Structure 1
Amino acid sequence: MKKVLVTGILLTALSIAGCGGPVDNIKDATGLSKEQSQQVLTELQSVGVTEFGNVNKVADQQGVYYIVDEKYGQTFFRIKNDKVSEIENSFSTVYKNGQKTDDISKVYISDQQKAAYQVAAKDAVSARLKSPSTAKFDIKQVIRYDNSVTVRGTVDAQNGFGAMVRGMFFVKIKADTGEVDSVSINNL
């Protein structure tokens, strides 16, 4: 009984000491001091990061790291001069040069939402093509801000003369309903 009690107290003391907590994970990955790592955590939390485990370094990019947040997926942050210089989620910057520019909740797109927006964009562009059955899409980017999603990409399709041409498209979609708001296609 005493062994179990002592083991329980020891494990509790280790967890209170912060072994493996977010600050330690940031410190281990970045090489920053504990105080600097605490500041990084504070800045991540200020933009909406909730809970995460490991901090990972992005290969071939100096000072760039990412975490996988339980609610908002991958969030990237850049360390410059031992401070956070930028935080990004879903291809949108939410923190830059010491200032919060947005909250992650306004820009985050889940994989399921992204797929639905891509399908809606393809359908909207296809409806405007002369030969939609020949269309080959390359979606470059899906970006959300508040209730507006922009899908950008290219489409290769036959024109009215049967020649394959490439056009760029931008489709705006309402995030809450998935309704297409506008479609712009260039070069077709």
Structure 2
Amino acid sequence: MQRIEILPTHKKAHNRKLKETIGAMGFFGPALLILIFVMLIPIVMVIYYSFFNNMIIDNTPFVGLKNYSRFFMDSDIWKMVRFTIIFTIGSIVTHLAIGLSLALSLNRGISSFVLSIFRAIFILPWVFTAAVSVFFLPFFFFFSRIFSFSFFPIFCSRGPLSFFFFLLLL
């Protein structure tokens, strides 16, 4: 009887799977770091700030669990929780239903002309947001009679570094 050696093939498959996992982690790692930076740090900061008095000054007194006790002693807390849950579930179901129905209707055999019209309609809110922002930008930065503040002189009069940050804001 002859023995068949399966181990080298298994080892090659294991090495290939390990390389794929390392490659996937190379793509997943930066996204995870960004997610931690964008979501987890603000959540931790909110929890930290919840133990202090709600003032916008440097010397905020530590109040401990007083904010939480005041929150849970409120008589309208269950109304707020119920409304939040109903609104969240209703919003998710409505958005999923509309999105799924639009996706299914666009995947049916419709003409490319109609499909291009629908694609244009879907991207219009994104385009109009930028267009309206650019339209109102001069009023916001230059005309202090219309707005009670004008950021352009503030940023441009403090030197080249502040002007650089002004350009980053644009």
TM-score if structure 2 supplies the norm length? 0.23
Structure with higher Rg: it is: 2
Structure showing the higher strand proportion among its residues: 1
Structure number with higher helix proportion: 2
Structure number with greater CO (CA < 8 Å, separation at least 6) is: 1
